[in-house]
Amino acid sequence: MTSFLAGLFAQQNFIPHGFCLAWEPALLGLHVVSNSVIAVAYYSIPFALIYFISRRRDLAFRGIFALSGAFILACGTTHIMDVVTLWYPAYWFDGFIKFFTAVISIFTAAAMWFVMPKALALPSMAQLEDANRRLQHEIGERQRAEAALRNANEELERRVTARTADLEDEVAQRRRTEETLRASEERWRSMFEASAVGIALTDENRRFVAVNKAFQKMLGYTSDELCSLGPVEITYEDDRAATQEMLDNMLSGRSSGYHVEKRYRRNDGTVIWVRVSTAQAPEPGSGLRGIPTIIEDVTERKQAEDALQEARDALLRVTRVTTLGELSASIAHEINQPLGAIVANGSACLRLLAVEKPDIEEAKEAVEDIISDSRRASAVLGRVRQLAKKSAPERAPVDVNGAISEVLSLTRQELQRNQVTARAQLDPSLPPVLADRIQLQQVVLNLVMNGIEAMRGVKDRARVLIVKSAVAAPADVAVTVEDTGIGFANSDPEHIFETFFTTKDDGMGMGLSISRSIVRDHGGRMWATPGAPIGAAFSFTLPASAGARA
Amino acid sequence: MTNNQFVVMIVDDDESIRRAARRLIKSYGFPVETFASAEDFLSSSRLHETACLVLDVQMPGLNGLELQSRLITDGHQVPIIFITAFNDENARAQALKAGALGYLVKPFEEADLLTAINVALRRQEIGRQSPGTLH
């Protein structure tokens, strides 16, 4: 090996290249400088390439770069050899260097052509930039799309949140409504159950669908028993037709409700009085079922009212009988007149028939008179008995003039005994009034007796009692009893209507107050006015009964 | 009873009583006339034919007792029999004191009336047979 290397650098018989250049210093210098500069440049290039490759790890075709680096390095070495061979003729070594350079050059050139298609396939810078731009654009688009998507997502989330809040609100609201409803329902139910008055619901089939405890207790039925019954079934027999009609009217819409007092028959058979108030029946299709009804037991009140009415009737009768007592002498007179005539006629009849040729005609007339006088006496007794009898008041159409005339005939003798001239001024066109005839006569009788009483002390003038009847506006019948008595002096005419007020020594002071209460009961009014020019006038009105016939 | 010139006068406001009394007294055989009021009787100028006055106490206008007083005041001594449907002791006492022959309460006994009428007629007859010689 040493010999081979020695052989390479052996200068033996070769001439240095400078010799060819004739050792011309300038030429030598030119070659030396040019080759040296080339060598320096060629040597620097591979280092630049190595630096480039080391920095660009992503570089394609790194082999080509390496080969090129070696090739340029080899070329650089050949230029160094060109300088060396100017003085040292190591042409073999120079030749081998050149051979080595040639081999690398060929490989490099071959490799270049080999990779050419691939290198050509590499995108150019512009293409890359264009692709980059497109990519950038696409990235932008995507980013925008992503942003839009993000926005949409946020919007969706916001909406979901808002809707969720709304739903929660709605649920809470519904819960509150349900609680309110439940509270309301409980409130109503407790009112329904705890109510002291009866409450019931009646459906369109006239059956109870709900009844409270008070109602069950009132009637002595259980809730179930009542719900198999209806308002008609529990009603007292005499009131059933009216109840049926009211229900019909409500269910058909002809009536919007009713308030009545009627009777029920309890489970144990006893009869109670109730006040029934219905509310409006629900509209068809309103979802509400049944007619709401409130029922109040008014039996005690009714009994008290009945007792009061009985006491009042009894008082009226007692005062009537008292008045009749005051009239007893006059009544006896009224009966004794026809009785006297009857006895006289009877006696005459006996005489007429006792003779040989009886005057049959005259006897017949006597008997006819007896019959008519008997009737007259009987009529007087009848009138007295009617005023004294114990019977419930009864309203019927009354001929006021007829009633007044009867009172005047009953008091005729009393008037005469007291030297009172009685005058009746009765309007024949008077319509009938709906009244209790006896009570009406009691009022007139009281006024006539008061008139007689008021004139008892009168000595200086005629004692006149005038009884008038007339039609008064709007559709009333007015009766006035005037006297020429002592009048009211300076006292208030209203004062005399007070109970227990009396100017009589033996009076109870009830006549006028009772009379006024009777008139009021009949829907009329009663008042007193000073007489003109003297005495007093008592008047009362009664509503005419439209369409009634006395 | 035999003197037909003397008439029994009945004054009563009640027609039934007038008819019945007239019929009864007629059945006794006496002539009878009736008046419905004291005023009718006074204005009839039948006073001098009156043998006996059958007079009701209670009448509108001038009543029986007032008519009696009037006749006495005027100097007419007419026998009066009161018939009344109203037994009032004061009225009876007043009537009898003033010279009434009877005070009958309806319904009266037929015999009482007849007796009273007979008394009245006898008194009238005596007065007529010996005018001015009552003793």
Q: What is the mean pLDDT of residues B39-45?
A: 91
Percentage of residues of chain A with pLDDT beyond 70: 93
What pLDDT digit, counting tens, does each position of A187-246 carry? 888 888 888 899 998 888 888 988 999 999 999 999 999 889 889 999 999 999 999 998
Q: How many residues does chain B have?
A: 135
Q: Does A341 lie at the interface with B, CB-CB under 8 angstroms?
A: yes
> For chains A and B, what is the number of CB pairs under 8 angstroms?
88
What pLDDT digit, counting tens, does each position of A224-241 carry? 998 898 899 999 999 999
Q: Do A416 and B14 touch (CB under 8 A)?
A: no
Residue with tokens 């009022």: A443
**pLDDT value at position B24?**
93
Which pTM was predicted? 0.57
Residue B132 scores a pLDDT above 50? no
Q: Do A340 and B83 touch (CB under 8 A)?
A: yes
**pLDDT value at position A68?**
86
A338 neighbourhood in chain B, CB within 8 Å: 16
Residue of B nearest to A372 (CA): B16
ipTM of the complex model: 0.88
Nearest to A341 among B17, B86, B110 (CB): B17
The two structure tokens encoding residue A541: 């009105």
**pLDDT value at position A284?**
60
What distances in angstroms separate CA A246 from CA A209, A227, A231, A234, one per listed residue? Answer: 18, 20, 11, 15
Q: What is the mean pLDDT of residues A515-529?
A: 91
**pLDDT value at position A501?**
66
Q: Are A439 and A391 in contact (CB under 8 A)?
A: no
**pLDDT value at position B127?**
66
Residue A483 scores a pLDDT above 90? yes
Phi, psi angle pair for A155, to nearest 5°: -60, -45
Residue A93 scores a pLDDT above 90? no
Beta strands in A225-285 (DSSP E): 259-265, 271-278
**pLDDT value at position A504?**
63
| CA of A420 vs chain B CAs: smallest distance (Å) | 9
The candidate with the shortest Cα–Cα distance to B24, out of A360, A341, A347, is A347
Q: Do B27 and A333 touch (CB under 8 A)?
A: no
**pLDDT value at position A322?**
84
Q: What is the mean pLDDT of residues B32-41?
A: 94
What pLDDT digit, counting tens, does each position of A272-291 carry? 999 999 876 556 666 666 78
What pLDDT digit, counting tens, does each position of A312-333 carry? 888 888 888 888 888 888 888 8
Mean residue pLDDT across chain A: 87
The two structure tokens encoding residue A32: 């030396």
| CA of A260 vs chain B CAs: smallest distance (Å) | 56
Q: What is the mean pLDDT of residues A165-182?
A: 93
Nearest to A340 among B23, B58, B107 (CB): B107
